Structure formats: C-alpha cells, structure tokens
Structure 1
Amino acid sequence: MKKDIDFSPVKDVHVVIAKEEDVWKVFLINRNSNKLDNVMITSRGYGETKTETQKTSVLRHMIPYIDPGEYALVEPIDESVFHLNNEYWVSYFIEGKVFDKKFIFVPDSIVEDNLTFIEELQMKGILHD
C-alpha cells in the first residue's frame, strides 16, 4: 500500500518551463549526482474563473532515464493554459528507491518577466524546485 512506501524527499530535480524562440516547452532537469530511472510524469492544468471550473486532460509521460547533469523534454505547453495551475507530478527511482513530488506553477506565473537563464538548457525559463 502507498502508506508502506518510503518516499524520500526530492532534491536537485527541477521542472522548467522555457521559451525557445516563440515556443514554450517543459523540461525536467537532473542536477543530482545519480541517474534517475523510470521517470514518470503526469501533467494537468486546473483552475476556476468567476463562472466556471476549467481543467485540461491529464497527460502521462515516461522517460526511461535521465543521467546526472542532464535534462529531458517533457512536452510543449500552450500559452492558453498559463492562467491555470499547471501541475507536474514527477516520480522516479534512484537505486531502486522511489522519489515523488508535485511541481505546481500557479496561475499567471509563466510570464516573460519571470524568465531567468537556465545553464543546462542554454535558454531562458522558469525553474521550479
């Protein structure tokens, strides 16, 4: 059962939403000294306006591994969902031990003013840790 699994704290793994030319993309960066195995990511958007609840489809991604100091493209992301909470639930294994964390970009946090240079990607983005 889930309560029997020891979920260790996630360290040095980051979700980044970066802008490359005019296209926004989501990346996962491994700043760990260990390889991440069987990386599973679910992404979804959700939120409310004054009149309705909005949500996107849940997308699931599988990345076999990410080496130390490397990154992987998760998905492109459309600007039309930036007014929603954009959630990325990341799970992976290091040496057989499971790690799990939700990264949530709150509404309207994905804007040009919040971009900083991300060394690994050699582009500007918003780093969530």
Structure 2
Amino acid sequence: MKKDIEIPVIEDVYVAAVREKHEEYQTLDWNAYLINDRAEAIEGVLIVTKGYDGKRETSTMRHSISKLPPQSFAKVEFLQDDVLQLNNEFSVSFFAESKMFHKKFVFKKNSINEKALQEIPVMQKKGVLLK
C-alpha cells in the first residue's frame, strides 16, 4: 500500500542557512529559511527540524506556515552555534497543485560555515543552500 502512494518531487523549494546581524544583540547569527522559488504559492507547510549525530540529539521542533507566496521566503528558526556541529534535518511537507509534496533537507555537521557561502535564490543574500 505504501508503494502505491505517489509523492511528487520537490523542485524550486529550498532550505538555506543565512548569517545575519541581530540588530538588538549586535551578534552574527545563523538563521534557517524556507525559500519558495516556484511560480505558485505553497500552502499548509509543515517543517519538522532536529539536530543529531551518533551520540547527541536535539529536541524536535515543529513549524508551520499557512501560505508562502511565489518567489518568497520565510524564516524557520535560529540555529545556535552548538547545533552547527550536528547534522541538521529539515523535513518539509506542503500542498501545491492539489498534491502533497515532501522532502528531507539535511545540513551535514559543520557544513554551515563561511567557506560554504553561495548566492541564495529569491533572497539576494549569501548563505548555505540545500536543494
């Protein structure tokens, strides 16, 4: 039965880690964003995040976005420096085109760093991108 369920491939939806200045605390922080580079909105977005390695695991966090317009982005969560040493998984599900889409995006441990910066679509900023 599970094999009969069709889950379409996600295209033009990304997760990015972007280093930004926190105005209140005057610190440079990493923040995770969901990016919709599609021509249509995505709806009912559910994002489940966790960090892990062989010995440690963070709490599981759940986020929702009711609607993310086309060519836009939304901040998902702040990434503490301690969790950058872990694999950071973002499990993303949403509805579009009358279908449900799902994909797991994983930042491998220590992959979120200044050396891995690249141009992020839609945001016009530099960050670490997962497609």
TM-score relative to the length of structure 1: 0.91
Aligned to 1:44: 50
Q: CA deviation at 1:33?
A: 1.1
Q: Over the residues paired in the alignment, what is the CA RMSD in angstroms?
A: 1.4
Map residues 74-93 of structure 1 onto 2, 5 A cutoff: 74-93=76-95
Q: Is the 2:37–2:122 Cα contact (8 Å) retained in structure 1?
A: no
Pick aligned residue for 1:125 from 124, 127, 131: 127
Amino acid at match of 1:11: E
What is the percent sequence identity of the aligned residues?
40
Comparing 3-12 and 81-90, the one that deviates more: 3-12
Amino acid at match of 2:38: N
Residue 95 in 1 paired to residue 101 in 2?
no
Query: Aligned partners of 1:98, 1:117: CA distance in 2, in Å?
Result: 28
Aligned to 2:6: 6
Pick aligned residue for 1:108 from 103, 107, 110: 110
Query: Aligned partners of 1:34, 1:57: CA distance in 2, in Å?
Result: 32
How many residue pairs match? The answer is: 125
Q: List alignment gaps of at least 5 residues for structure 2.
A: 22-27
Amino acid at match of 1:23: D
Q: Is the 2:46–2:94 Cα contact (8 Å) retained in structure 1?
A: yes
Cα distance change, pair 117–28 in 1 and its aligned pair in 2 (3 A): same
Q: List alignment gaps of at least 5 residues for structure 1.
A: none
TM-score relative to the length of structure 2: 0.89
Map residues 34-73 of structure 1 onto 2, 5 A cutoff: 34-48=40-54, 53-73=55-75
